[in-house]
Amino acid sequence: MAKITSKAGLVVGTNLTIDEPGRIITLNVGGSLIAKDGVTLQALYSKLVDLWATSTYQDSPFPMYAIDALSGQFQIGTDGSTYSGWKFSDVDSDATRNMLRDGGWSEWSSAGVKLQEYAGFIGLGSITPATTVQPYYHLGATDAPINFPFTDQFNVGVRVYGDASHGSLDKRTYAKAFVREYGKKFKSSILADTGATATGANKVNFLVSNEDDLKITTLLGSVAATGDSAMAGAPYSGITVAYYTANQSRTINSVACNFKTIIAGNGATLEQIYAKIQYLLRQGTDINTGGTAGSKIGKIQSDLLTFVGDTLVTSQSVFIDNILGTDSNRIEFYDDSNTKRTNPYTAAGTMSFNSVLVGAGSSYRLMYSAPAGAGNDYGEAGAITVKDSTNADITGTISAASIGFDFDYDNSTAGGTAGTDKAVTLIGIRPGSGKFAMATGTLSRSKGISLSLVAEQDRVYA
């Protein structure tokens, strides 16, 4: 079945109860009325008009007043000039109100006092899968999240005002709706997205939809149970987010920039970092680890990261510490002033070693090797060791058959002009196992530099 949009879908005694002595209107599941699909306020109003055109109900005051169906403005408990105290049923735990669609309404006492206001929150767009996705909202920037009464796209009344006898509530200046589901791109929407500045007894639209997030499903699979369980293991367990009240300085391309949200990347790939952050933003618990900004409930925090193709883009004032060098040039940071910042180009590659060179007692070093005659190249007394993007020498023990490295291609002037290709020599040795070996190569503007060192087995060393 579908949403009832015609008065003909409402049948007294089947899905509509009118208690004249108590002046209570109740909607009941039955006939063509399904709770999740509901009935429009316009259809209910029109049905009441037809009923009050008969002698059966004309001894009671008319229950509702319709201001405008297009903007979804209705009132109950008044006919527009007098007040009667008619109301929607309260004994069904708001089940009647939760079945009203395409509008908002105010509720009035017989003394002409406004008791409550319900805004008609309507999501625009498609949410999939409809049977499982649970959208939610909150009515204050720090308020707890509240689930809409049904899964799928929402179209339901939300109480935004109540007098002293109805919760002493006034939440008409802020509202934000969310849809965050495993394996789907997140979406949230605030009033300003459709030009509204406040809620009230009328329709309030939110731009909320979702679509498949291949960055999650490709990495972790399509099943939330297994994908979320991975978050307790490496490298995800070490990826955290800290929210600060004061600016945190980070240097990007030699410029000091300010950020208030710092993600600990834990040396993970950008995809892994993104997956953990999306996980955190689905949690109903405090996700602020080590920050000074107090408790931050994940579900109501703003989005932090977005992928545009293979480029990770941060939200304003978000920085990620400790990312892989190979990822440094597919990330865009937006600092506290919302200025885009990008890293200088970091070349990266791998050094490969055959088995006789790998193990304790071994060593390798990468040195510049051109131009000859300058006194600072490989083979000369002042040979310069190449430094990585953190300004550390590329040298050490050969602990594995493949060792990654990076290099500040745009800024390093050692061994020649910054931003140009540079000739290098890689040497390695492991006494008693692998003879001294050397290989030449070039540091170019690439993430796929490959240097390979193959040594003879040393059967003479004693």
- Under 8 Å between Cβ of 34 and 1: yes
Give the pLDDT confidence score for residue 390 in this predicted structure.
85
Residue 390 structure tokens: 């953190």
End-to-end distance of the chain based on CA atoms, in angstroms? Answer: 87
Full DSSP string of 1-36: ---B-SGGG--BTTTEEEETTTTEEEE-SBTTB-TT
Query: What pTM did the predictor assign?
Result: 0.84
Give the pLDDT confidence score for residue 1 in this predicted structure.
65
Helix (H, G, I), strand (E, B) or coil at 51: helix
- Under 8 Å between Cβ of 233 and 268: no
Block means of pLDDT (10 residues each) for the chain, length 462 residues? 94 98 97 97 98 97 97 97 96 90 98 97 92 94 96 97 96 97 96 93 96 96 96 98 98 95 98 98 98 98 97 98 91 98 93 98 95 83 92 97 94 90 97 97 95 97 92
- Beta-carbon count within 10 A of 321 CB: 14
Give the pLDDT confidence score for residue 215 in this predicted structure.
97
Give the pLDDT confidence score for residue 396 in this predicted structure.
98
385-416: b or e for each residue (b if 16 or more CB lie within 10 Å)? bbbbbeeeebeeebeeeebebbbbbeebeebb
Quote the CA–CA distance of 317 and 43 in Å, as a whole number: 48
Full DSSP string of 128-186: SSTTT---EEESSTTSPPEE-SSSSS-EEEEEEEE-GGGTSEE--S--EEEE--TTB--
Task: Cite the beta strand spans of 271-383 per DSSP E.
Answer: 305-308, 311-316, 318-321, 331-334, 340-341, 346-353, 363-368
Helix (H, G, I), strand (E, B) or coil at 194: helix
